C-alpha cells in the first residue's frame, strides 16, 4: 500500500473513533450497521473477490448467525459462547455449500446459492417452533465485556468496531499467507493451480466456509444491534445488498467492502432528502457508477491515481497486477 | 380427479407464462451473456404502460399495442443501449449488480409514480367456466394457454424457418464465425432484446389479470423464470418451455397436495438437484449452444 492509501486509512480510523461522539443515536445506529455489514461483506469478498466463487447466499449466513445468537442468548447462554457457536455453525454450513461449487461454476453456482438463500428464508419463516416465524425475535441481549456493559449505542458501536478490526486483521493476515495466495490462484486459473499441486478442492470449500463464517459472525452482531430479527431481513435482498457492497466497493480489493458498505448503508439515508424518491435515486446512482466504473469505487480511484500503467493492467485485477503493486 | 384436471390446467397456464418469461431470459443470456435480474420487473412494467394508456382513454386493444411497443423500445432498445452495451465487456458480475439496481429502480418508480396499490387489470376474455371431463376449467386459463402456445410457435418458426432466425442462431452459437460469415452480429443481438421486449409484454398482458398489476409482481415472476430456465436448460428455447411448464404444474400440485407453506421450496429443491446432477439442464447440451 502506498502513502496515499495509508493516509486514507488513518483518516478513516480517526473518523470511526471520533464520529460516534458527534452523532445522534440514529447516526450511531447507522455507522454500527455499517460496521456489521462490512464484516459480512469482507466475508463475501473473500469468497467472491479473492477465491472467485460466486455466492448469493451471504445474507442467509448473516441470518443463520443472527438467529443462532438470538436463540442461544434467549436460552440463557452468555454472548460470547453463542457468538462462537454462530461462527462455527456457519463454517460448517458454508463448507457444505461449497460442495456444489466443486461441480458447477459462475452463473450456475450463483443460482444454487440463490436457491439455498431462499430455502433458509423459508425455514426461518415456517419453522415457528424454533424461530417464532414472521413474529421474529426481539430484545437480544448485548454482551458484557470485562465487566463493562455494551447496552448503550455508543458502547456497542465500539464493541462492533473492535470486532471489525480484529476480523479484518485476521483476514488481512490470512490473505498474505499461502492460503490467500491459493485463493487468488483458484480465481485466476484453477487448472494451473491444480497442476501446481494445490488442493483446489479443499481451498474451494475453505473459501466458502471462511466467507460464510464472517457472514455468521456479522449476524451475531446484527441481532443485538437491531434488537429485532425476522426472516424478511435475511431474504435475497440482504444477499443482493452484500453483493452490491462488494462489487461497488471493488471486488478482490481488501478495502472494497468497507467502501461498498459505506455506500450501501449511508447513501440511501443521505438520499432521504429526496423523500419518497430516495430509492429511485439510489438505484440510479448505483447503475451510473457501474456503467462508468465496473471495477468499483476503488477501481476508479486506482485508475485516477495510476495513469502511468497501461490500461489493460488497470482494467483487470489479475494476479500479476497484484503481485507488482505490492 | 376433477380437481386434479383443474389444477393441471391452471398449472399449465401459469407454466406457459413462466415459459414465455424464461425464453426471453435465455435469449438474452445466449446472445449477450446478460443475466437479467430485472426480468421479473420487465414483466411487471408493461401492465402499467397499458393501464396508463387506458387511463388516457385508449381502448384495451390499442392500449395493449402501445404497451407492447413501449416495452420493445424501453425494455429492449434502451435497456441494451444504455445498460448492457457499455458494461458487457467488463464481465458478468457488474452487469448483474446493474440489473439488480435496475429492478429496484423500476419497482420504486412504479410505486412512486403510479400507485403502491394492486390495480385491477382487464382480462382478455370475460370470466366464464368451461366444463370438461367433469372438471370446471376457467376460460381464462385456456385462453392464456392458447396465447402463450401461439407466441412460442411463432417464435419457433421465426428462429428455425427464416433466414433471420438462422442468423440469430449462428450469432448465439459462435459470434466470431457468424461475423466472418457476414452476419451483422450487433443487429442480431439487438433483435433478441426486441424479442424479449415483446415476450415480457405478452406475459404481462396474460398474468396481470390473474395476479392484479402490482409493483412487487416482478419478484416472484423473475425468480420463477430463472428457475424455469435453469431446470430446462439455459441454452435451449425448448428447455425454457419445459422448465416453465414443470414449474407451473408443480407449483399448483404441490401447494394442493403436499404443503402450502413450503410451496416455494419445491421448485428450489428441484433446481438444486438439477444443477448438481445435470448442470446443463434437462434439455440442454453441455457444449453446443443453440437459440
Bridge partners for B138 per DSSP:
B129
The model's confidence at residue B47, banded by pLDDT at 50, 70 and 90, is very high
Residues of chain A with Cβ-Cβ distance to B251 below 8 Å are: none
Distance from CA of A259 to the nearest CA of B (A): 16
Rounded Cα distance, B36 and B126, in Å:
34
Interface of A with B (CB under 8 A): 54, 100, 103-104, 106-108, 110-112, 114-116, 118-119, 122, 125-126, 240, 243-244, 247-248, 251, 276-277, 279-280, 282-284, 286-287, 290-292, 294-295, 315
The predicted pLDDT at position A170 comes to: 93
Give the residue from A248, A228, A243, A262 showing the smallest Cα distance to A300: A248
* A193 neighbors A84 (Cβ within 8 angstroms): no
Rounded Cα distance, B79 and B28, in Å:
11
In a domain, B245, yes or no: no
Kind plus residue range of the DSSP H or E element containing A137: strand A137-138
Sign, Cα dihedral of A295, A298, A301, A303: negative
For the segment B32-50, the average pLDDT, to the nearest whole number, is 90
| B153/B254: higher pLDDT | B153
Range scoring the smallest mean pLDDT among A257-261, A299-303, B65-69? A299-303
Residues of chain A with Cβ-Cβ distance to B86 below 8 Å are: 291-292
- Give residues with Cβ within 8 angstroms of A87, minimum separation 6: A65, A213, A216, A217, A220
Backbone angles phi, psi at A307, to 5 degrees: -75, -15
B90, A122: Cβ pair inside 8 Å? no
For the segment B65-73, the average pLDDT, to the nearest whole number, is 94
In a domain, B226, yes or no: no
Residue A95 exposed, middle or buried by CB count within 10 Å (0-12, 13-18, 19+): middle
The model's confidence at residue B133, banded by pLDDT at 50, 70 and 90, is low
For the segment A133-145, the average pLDDT, to the nearest whole number, is 79
In a domain, B59, yes or no: yes
B261, A251: Cβ pair inside 8 Å? no
**Spacing of C-alpha A275 from chain mean position:** 28
Distance from CA of B219 to the nearest CA of A (A): 10
| B256/A263: higher pLDDT | A263
**Spacing of C-alpha B74 from chain mean position:** 16
| A24/A108: higher pLDDT | A24
> Which among A116, A126, A243 has CB closest to B97?
A243
In chain B, whose CA is at the least distance from the CA of A103? B276
B223, A277: Cβ pair inside 8 Å? no
The model's confidence at residue A62, banded by pLDDT at 50, 70 and 90, is very high
- Give residues with Cβ within 8 angstroms of A129, minimum separation 6: none
Q: What is the pLDDT of residues B212-238, one digit of tens each?
A: 888 888 888 888 888 888 888 777 788
Residues of chain A with Cβ-Cβ distance to B234 below 8 Å are: 107
Residues of chain B with Cβ-Cβ distance to A256 below 8 Å are: none
Distance from CA of A148 to the nearest CA of B (A): 42
Average pLDDT along chain A? 83
Range scoring the smallest mean pLDDT among A212-226, A301-315, B16-30, B100-114? A301-315
Answer whether B97 touches A (CB < 8 Å).
Answer: yes
B226, A111: Cβ pair inside 8 Å? yes
In a domain, B77, yes or no: yes
Kind plus residue range of the DSSP H or E element containing A160: helix A153-176
In chain B, whose CA is at the least distance from the CA of A285? B101
| A123/B268: higher pLDDT | A123
Number of CB atoms found within 10 A of residue A115's CB: 25
B227, A247: Cβ pair inside 8 Å? no
- In B27-56, the residues whose Cβ lies within 8 Å of chain A are 29, 35
Question: Domain span at residue B107?
Answer: 2-217
The model's confidence at residue A241, banded by pLDDT at 50, 70 and 90, is confident
The predicted pLDDT at position A1 comes to: 57
Q: Nine-digit cell at B55?
A: 387511463
In chain B, whose CA is at the least distance from the CA of A295? B94
Kind plus residue range of the DSSP H or E element containing A221: helix A200-226
Residue B30 has pLDDT above 90, yes or no: no
The model's confidence at residue A318, banded by pLDDT at 50, 70 and 90, is very low
Average pLDDT along chain B? 85
Residue A11 exposed, middle or buried by CB count within 10 Å (0-12, 13-18, 19+): exposed
Q: CB pairs below 8 Å between A and B: how many? A: 105
Of A276-280, B79-83, B200-204, where does the model show the most confidence?
B200-204
> Which among B98, B261, B271 has CB closest to A126?
B261
In a domain, B212, yes or no: yes
B105, A248: Cβ pair inside 8 Å? no
A290, B269: Cβ pair inside 8 Å? no
The model's confidence at residue B53, banded by pLDDT at 50, 70 and 90, is very high
Total-model pTM = 0.81
In a domain, B273, yes or no: no
> How many structural domains is chain B composed of?
1
Residue A316 has pLDDT above 50, yes or no: no
Residues of chain A with Cβ-Cβ distance to B112 below 8 Å are: 276-277, 280
B268, A118: Cβ pair inside 8 Å? yes
Distance from CA of A119 to the nearest CA of B (A): 6
The domain limits of chain A are 3-325
Q: What is the pLDDT of residues B99-118, one digit of tens each?
A: 888 998 998 899 888 888 88
B108, A294: Cβ pair inside 8 Å? no
Per-residue CA distances from B203 to A294, B13, B145 (Å):
32, 11, 11
> Which among A248, A294, A315 has CB closest to B87?
A294
Residues of chain A with Cβ-Cβ distance to B94 below 8 Å are: 247, 290, 294-295
Residues of chain B with Cβ-Cβ distance to A104 below 8 Å are: 275-276, 279
* CATH number of the domain located at residue range(s) A3-325 in this protein: 1.10.3470
Amino acid at each position: 500500500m502506498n502513502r496515499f492509501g495509508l493516509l486514507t486509512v488513518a483518516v478513516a480510523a480517526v473518523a470511526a473513533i471520533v464520529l460516534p461522539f458527534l452523532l445522534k443515536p440514529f447516526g450511531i445506529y447507522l455507522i454500527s450497521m455499517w460496521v456489521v455489514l462490512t464484516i459480512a461483506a469482507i466475508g463475501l469478498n473473500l469468497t467472491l473477490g479473492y477465491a472467485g466463487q460466486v455466492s448469493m447466499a451471504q445474507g442467509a449466513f448473516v441470518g443463520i448467525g443472527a438467529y443462532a445468537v438470538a436463540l442461544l442468548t434467549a436460552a440463557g447462554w452468555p454472548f460470547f459462547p453463542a457468538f462462537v457457536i454462530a461462527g462455527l455453525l456457519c463454517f460448517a454450513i458454508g463448507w457444505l455449500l461449497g460442495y456444489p461449487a466443486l461441480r458447477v461454476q459462475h452463473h450456475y453456482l450463483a443460482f444454487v446459492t440463490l436457491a439455498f438463500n431462499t430455502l433458509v428464508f423459508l425455514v426461518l419463516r415456517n419453522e415457528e417452533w424454533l424461530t417464532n416465524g414472521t413474529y421474529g425475535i426481539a430484545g437480544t441481549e448485548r454482551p458484557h465485556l470485562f465487566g463493562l456493559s455494551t447496552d448503550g449505542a455508543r458502547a456497542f458501536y465500539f464493541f462492533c468496531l473492535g470486532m471489525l478490526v480484529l476480523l479484518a486483521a485476521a483476514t488481512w493476515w490470512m490473505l498474505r499467507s499461502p492460503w490467500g495466495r491459493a485463493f487468488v490462484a483458484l480465481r485466476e486459473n484453477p487448472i494451473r493451480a491444480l497442476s501446481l499441486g494445490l488442493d483446489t478442492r479443499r481451498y474451494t470449500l475453505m473459501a466458502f466456509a471462511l466467507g460464510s463464517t464472517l457472514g455468521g459472525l456479522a449476524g451475531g452482531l446484527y441481532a443485538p444491534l437491531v434488537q429485532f430479527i425476522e426472516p424478511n431481513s435475511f431474504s435475497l435482498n440482504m444477499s443482493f445488498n452484500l453483493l452490491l457492497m462488494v462489487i461497488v466497493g471493488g471486488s478482490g480489493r481488501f478495502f472494497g467492502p468497507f467502501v461498498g458498505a459505506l455506500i450501501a448503508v449511508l447513501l440511501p439515508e443521505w438520499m432521504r432528502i429526496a423523500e419518497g424518491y430516495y430509492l429511485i435515486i439510489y438505484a440510479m446512482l448505483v447503475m451510473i457508477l457501474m456503467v462508468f466504473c465496473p471495477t468499483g469505487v476503488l477501481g476508479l480511484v486506482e485508475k485516477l491515481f495510476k495513469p502511468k500503467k497501461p490500461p489493460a493492467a488497470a482494467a483487470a485485477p489479475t494476479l500479476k497486477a497484484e503481485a507488482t503493486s505490492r | 380427479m376433477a380437481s386434479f384436471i383443474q389444477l393441471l390446467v391452471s398449472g399449465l397456464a401459469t407454466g406457459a407464462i413462466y415459459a414465455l418469461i424464461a425464453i426471453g431470459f435465455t435469449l438474452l443470456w445466449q446472445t449477450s451473456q446478460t443475466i437479467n435480474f430485472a426480468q421479473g420487473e420487465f414483466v411487471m412494467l408493461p401492465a402499467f404502460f397499458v393501464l396508463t394508456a387506458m387511463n388516457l382513454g385508449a381502448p384495451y386493444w390499442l392500449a395493449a399495442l402501445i404497451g407492447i411497443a413501449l416495452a420493445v423500445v424501453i425494455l429492449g432498445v434502451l435497456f441494451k443501449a444504455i445498460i448492457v452495451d457499455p458494461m458487457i465487456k467488463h464481465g458478468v458480475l457488474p452487469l448483474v449488480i446493474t440489473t439488480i439496481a435496475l429492478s429496484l429502480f423500476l419497482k420504486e418508480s412504479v410505486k412512486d409514480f403510479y400507485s403502491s396499490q394492486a390495480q385491477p387489470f382487464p382480462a382478455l376474455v370475460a370470466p366464464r367456466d368451461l366444463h370438461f371431463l367433469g372438471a370446471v376449467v376457467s376460460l381464462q386459463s385456456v385462453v392464456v394457454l392458447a396465447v402463450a402456445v401461439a407466441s412460442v410457435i411463432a417464435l419457433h418458426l421465426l428462429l428455425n424457418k427464416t433466414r433471420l432466425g438462422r442468423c440469430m442462431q449462428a450469432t448465439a452459437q459462435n459470434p466470431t464465425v457468424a461475423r466472418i460469415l457476414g452476419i451483422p452480429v450487433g443487429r442480431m443481438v439487438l433483435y433478441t432484446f426486441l424479442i424479449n421486449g415483446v415476450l415480457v409484454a405478452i406475459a404481462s398482458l396474460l398474468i396481470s389479470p390473474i395476479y392484479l398489476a402490482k409493483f412487487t409482481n416482478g419478484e416472484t415472476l423473475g425468480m420463477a423464470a430463472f428457475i424455469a430456465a435453469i431446470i430446462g436448460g439455459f441454452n435451449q428455447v425448448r428447455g425454457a418451455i419445459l422448465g416453465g411448464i414443470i414449474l407451473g404444474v408443480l407449483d399448483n400440485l404441490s401447494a394442493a397436495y403436499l404443503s402450502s407453506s413450503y410451496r416455494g421450496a419445491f421448485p428450489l429443491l428441484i433446481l438444486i438437484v438439477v444443477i448438481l446432477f445435470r448442470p446443463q439442464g434437462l434439455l440442454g447440451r453441455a457444449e453446443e449452444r443453440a437459440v
